[in-house]
Amino acid sequence: MNCFFTIVSNNYLHFARTLLKSVRNHYPSAHLYCVIVDEDMGFSREHDSEFTAVNLRELGLPHGDGFLFQYTVLELNTAVKPWAFEYLFNLGHREVIYIDPDIFVYAPLVEVEKSFACDGEIVLTPHLTRRLTDDRSPTELDIRRAGTYNFGFCALKKSDNSVEFLKWWQSKLERECIVDPDRGIFVDQSWIDLVPGLFENVAIIRHEGYNVAYWNIAQRAITKDRNGNFLVNDKYPLVFFHFSGFNPKEPERFSKHQNRFRTPDLSLEAQEIIQNYARAVLGCGYEVYSKCKYGFGSFEDGTPIPDSLRALYRTSPPVRAAIGDHPFSSVHTLTYPSSELGLTKAQVPIGMYCIWSARPDLQDAFPINESEASLAEFYNWFSAECLNIYRRSADQLGFLGPKSVSSESSHISAGVRTPVPATGLRRLSVIYQQLLNRDPDPTAVEVYAHRCATLPGALRVSWNVLRSKEGISRHVSPRQVLRAMHTLIAVKVIDEHSDAHIATRLDNRAPRGAAPSSCSNNSGIRAITGIFGHEGDSKVAGLWCGPTISVPIPRGVRPTSIKLTGQVFSIYYAESDEPTPQQVLRLLVNGCEVSQHVIGTENSSDFSWHKDLSGLSFAPDSHIELNFARSFVPAEKGLGKDRRLLSVRVKSLYLNELELVDSSLSEPIADIQKFEAPPGVNLVGYVTSEHGVGEASRRLVWALQAARVPVHLIDVGYQAPTPKMDKSILALSTPQLNPVDIIYVNADQTLNTISYLGEKGHRSAARIGFWHWEQESLPKKFLPSFDGLLEVWTPTSFVQKAVSDISPVPIFCVPHSIDVSGRSQKSREDFGLPLDKFLVLLMYDFDSYQFRKNPQASVRAFRSAFSSNNDAGIVIKTSNAARHPRAASELVELCADIPNVYLIDSIMSKSDLLALQDSCDCLISLHRAEGFGFAIAEMMALGKPVVATGWSGNMDFMTTRNSLPVSYDLLPLQENLGPYVAGLNWAEADTEHAAELLLRIFDDSHFRASIGDRAAHDIQAQLSPEAIGSRCALRLKLLSSRI
């Protein structure tokens, strides 16, 4: 088997890279492909060395752009699969394996190879091979609905049979690759249930090491054998694990599609798999790619495409005809009358119809085909609520609509009436209080109370009241009306049988007296409790809370004030005939009452409460409680079935200027830790030494300084034989010791350094290692170096992966910060360099092993590019040549035949070194491996083009758009070199490719300037001290809970 592929949009590229790297581990010579379901191919083309990116439009999909337009992002990523198989067959591959991007391969697919060898042509894996024995989700019925076979994996061997299968499969997905559980369709997966019966030579792999995932891990225990290899049920080697629904930022959740397990509930071996996978995904560009905008998600002008419009286009030939063959440029279609396409009787543009047809709640509230009044009400609702979606008013969408009717025109005729329903009366009371600030009069009760017995009726009454003379005179806006309706829904003034779509039942139900649980946890993390999460209309009307809100004070914050806004509902606090009571708020600090305050007045009303706390004293880890004297259980008031004990709705909560709660946000309750000052650190390292690790430690100090993290310096430069001249950070050291040590020496010196600290009597609450390494794996001889470390930081994902391979502790990537603002005023003349030549810079330290830095390749590339050109020169800046006379002599001999070579061996101040770099036109670095690549990043920050080996740590910030990566071959190191172990791969750069890139820079000044500008921009955005400092501060805050 030599052909594997996956399919992603750009926002999933980190998953695809992780998958394909795992495949490469077991099939090093295989052809790897990634089909990109997106417009921008630039992101994927940055990884040409990892896989071949396939443009969606190369697959020969039917219906042109219409095929892309008709499906959501999930549906389209699934729909192209059979055409991708066909494409790869046409390239000459005879055995093709598809694997979902969120899979990781742990062993060769031996069973697939055996199936192909035994006449298998279509290879499938089932979701389940054993029965589920609990009632957790997903159930066996859920699996049945989704499909018997998990089509995140499929292997095909080319034959007449498999080609016929592809044609059949394509016919199903041409219009029907959709998520429609009511019709029994879940994208392509449910269709595959038919395949074993319809086609010959179908092999079903029941090996339990295949497709381990959330849906079957209850029956598949993960363990290890004696050699450390993962086993399933102590029998089957783990072949691949499917991380469906996994968020690498929340690994403890395991999968969002199930409620059977959290990661801590699983075996230690399974936890190891999950944590390692999370690190791998994060290290493959998660922060960049997860933010990518889907290229087919909007019209060409940026207007979002409603999913309901896609469905209309897919199912309705008249709609397809109206939109035409170029749907992404047809935003004007949103104004096309739906009535002319036979969709409605009412004159509604398709854009508005799409919203209405997709929501049963709107269809019930606004029966637009029945009356002009309903049509007008829907128009008002759309104008108030959908402008942010369509970026234009409903009028601009081409619909002026009939005028709204007044309440008088909506009166029902007199007749025999049933008794006024209590639910309708309560609804009507809320409507009048919210819109007119008074109780309903007897006429209103007679006319409207019966209508308010159902929620759609209550909504229509709200609009009628708004458009009455009294409502118009009060200048109540449609948005205020919508807010009133949200309040009406949220207090559960609804009939038990009202439409669930518009009156979402309150979740997180608890017995009377129980505190809300949605914002608290059992992990010891300090969090705001007592407030429920989003439900129904809470973004507008506020979040429900129980009788007490508990607010932990962020560490490092001194409270001076607290402010709370929201709504009280006094009408529901009263018992039987009790007069309308007032809500009383009690303020407590660490359980002791400080003050009482009356909030709100009568019935439903907004409140805003503020308290000065500057006169109070707060001990560390203090907390504030807001206790409400009045509460009610909705079910006991006839307001549905909600049994929670509720008090008020909270819209915002501020401590000082810190916004702890904002109900309008998608994440309304802030994480307290983000406001807490990170713990200070003691940086233990070569703080004044003139070599790479010393310079790196100073970069970290500058970054921490930018984030206002206190740093105490402990110099262990006695370990390094280099000069100790750079004292630039000494003045930043705080006099006091801090709780966290950052041991900024490499793995080989970590134990010595910790021992030295112990001898000096130094103690700390936690220790973090900061390590560099320039091979793909860290040797196991360094395992003892992890002892006593909470975690290890690395400068790039390359080093992170190398250390993770053997690490028993978390590995976190903290890039080096880059700041080139402090260069001196020295010019070329000061360095003895010619003014009239194009200068290529090569920089390295002899202490860093000349073989690894590989200046020979860079010199050969320069010689090849400019052998007959006297207008270019090469500047070779080195340091510490005196300690390596043999290597220095080899360098001189290497350059003997180059006329324009300028050798500079000197330890310069940082400002002078930056001036030298700025004096040159570009950098070349054909290294065999880099843990980071300071010279590369600095030259890019200076806006200089960089030609460098496209492998190892520098590829975290180098791309084909901001630099010129050089192609390479990976070859094993033949013999041990210092700490580096023979047998592991290093890169051999293609010098001819490098020469071509040098000539392109030399010949094209516009290109030179353009790529330099992009480089400077990217380095500033990614590696500025502020960006890196913020990353460190956040990590230290998170670690503070473990200290």
Q: Quick one: which of 406, 497, 416 has its CA closest to 460?
A: 406
Read off φ and ψ for residue 306, nearest 5 degrees.
-65, 140
pLDDT score of 799 = 95
Enumerate the H helices of 826-925 as residue ranges: 850-853, 855-866, 885-894, 910-919
Rounded CA-CA distance 37/759 in Å is: 59
Rounded CA-CA distance 652/37 in Å is: 41
Rounded CA-CA distance 711/728 in Å is: 14
Instruction: Specify the higher pLDDT residue, 350 or 900.
Output: 900
pLDDT score of 141 = 85
Rounded CA-CA distance 22/104 in Å is: 6
Rounded CA-CA distance 811/814 in Å is: 10
Rounded CA-CA distance 231/239 in Å is: 9
DSSP secondary structure code for residue 632 in this structure: B
C-beta separation of 344 from 392 below 8 A: no
Q: Helix, strand, coil proportions of the chain in percent (round to 5)? A: 40, 20, 45
Q: Is the dihedral of CA 908, 909, 915, 917 positive or negative?
A: positive
Q: Quick one: which of 38, 467, 116, 666 has its CA closest to 292?
A: 38
User: What are the pLDDT digits (tens) for 441-499?
Assistant: 766 776 677 777 766 677 777 777 776 767 766 666 555 555 555 545 543 333 332 33
Residue with tokens 């041409």: 174
C-beta separation of 297 from 255 below 8 A: no
CB-based contacts of 918, cutoff 8 Å, min separation 6: 820, 823, 942, 944
Structure tokens at 42: 């630039």
> With bands split at pLDDT 50, 70 and 90, how would you rate the model's confidence at 24?
very high
Coil, strand, or helix at residue 13?
helix
C-beta separation of 661 from 543 below 8 A: yes
Structure tokens at 276: 């390692």
| Whether pLDDT at 851 is above 80 | yes
> With bands split at pLDDT 50, 70 and 90, how would you rate the model's confidence at 198?
very high
pLDDT score of 407 = 31
Beta-bridge partner residues of 812: 793
pLDDT score of 1041 = 62
Instruction: Specify the higher pLDDT residue, 113 or 136.
Output: 113
Amino acid 513 reads G
Coil, strand, or helix at residue 264?
helix
As a whole number, the mean pLDDT across the chain is: 84
**Residue range 368-382: average pLDDT?**
77
Q: Quick one: which of 721, 736, 730 has its CA closest to 688?
A: 730
pLDDT score of 488 = 55
pLDDT score of 409 = 29
Read off φ and ψ for residue 103, nearest 5 degrees.
-115, 150
Using DSSP bridges, classify how beta strands 103-105 and 95-99 pair: parallel, antiparallel or unpaired: unpaired
Q: Which strands sit side by side in the sheet containing 811-813, from one edge to the other? A: 711-715, 681-685, 740-744, 766-770, 791-794, 811-813
Provide CATH code, domain 3-289.
Answer: 3.90.550.10
pLDDT score of 973 = 94
C-beta separation of 800 from 833 below 8 A: no
**For the packed helices 268-282 and 13-26, what is the interaxial angle rounded to 10 degrees?**
120
Rounded CA-CA distance 317/632 in Å is: 54
pLDDT score of 360 = 72
Q: Quick one: which of 255, 142, 133, 240 has its CA closest to 190?
A: 142
| Whether pLDDT at 855 is above 90 | yes
Q: Is the dihedral of CA 310, 311, 312, 314 positive or negative?
A: positive
Which sequence spans correspond to the domains of the chain?
Answer: 3-289, 307-390, 408-490, 529-675, 681-813, 829-1023
Provide CATH code, domain 829-1023.
Answer: 3.40.50.2000
> With bands split at pLDDT 50, 70 and 90, how would you rate the model's confidence at 375?
confident
With a pLDDT cut of 90, the percent of the chain lying above it is 53
Beta-bridge partner residues of 842: 876
Cis? peptide before 138, omega within 30° of 0: yes
pLDDT score of 386 = 58
User: What are the pLDDT digits (tens) for 891-935?
Assistant: 999 999 899 999 999 989 889 999 999 999 999 999 999 999 999
Fold for domain 529-675? Jelly Rolls (2.60.120)
Choice among 150-164, 709-723, 739-753, 983-997 with the minimum mean pLDDT: 709-723
pLDDT score of 384 = 56
Coil, strand, or helix at residue 636?
helix
Coil, strand, or helix at residue 534?
coil
Instruction: Specify the higher pLDDT residue, 349 or 68.
Output: 68
> With bands split at pLDDT 50, 70 and 90, how would you rate the model's confidence at 406?
very low
User: What are the pLDDT digits (tens) for 51-109?
Assistant: 999 999 899 999 889 999 999 999 999 999 999 999 999 999 999 999 999 999 999 99
Provide CATH code, domain 681-813.
Answer: 3.40.50.11930
681-813: same fold as 3-289? no
| Whether pLDDT at 501 is above 80 | no
| CA gyration radius, the chain | 34
| Whether pLDDT at 571 is above 80 | no
CA 631 to the chain's CA centroid:
39
User: What are the pLDDT digits (tens) for 662-700?
Assistant: 998 888 998 887 777 788 999 999 998 877 899 999 999
Element (H, E) at 25: helix 13-26
CA 679 to the chain's CA centroid:
26
Instruction: Specify the higher pLDDT residue, 290 or 385.
Output: 290
Rounded CA-CA distance 952/932 in Å is: 8
Q: Quick one: which of 973, 993, 990 has its CA closest to 982?
A: 973
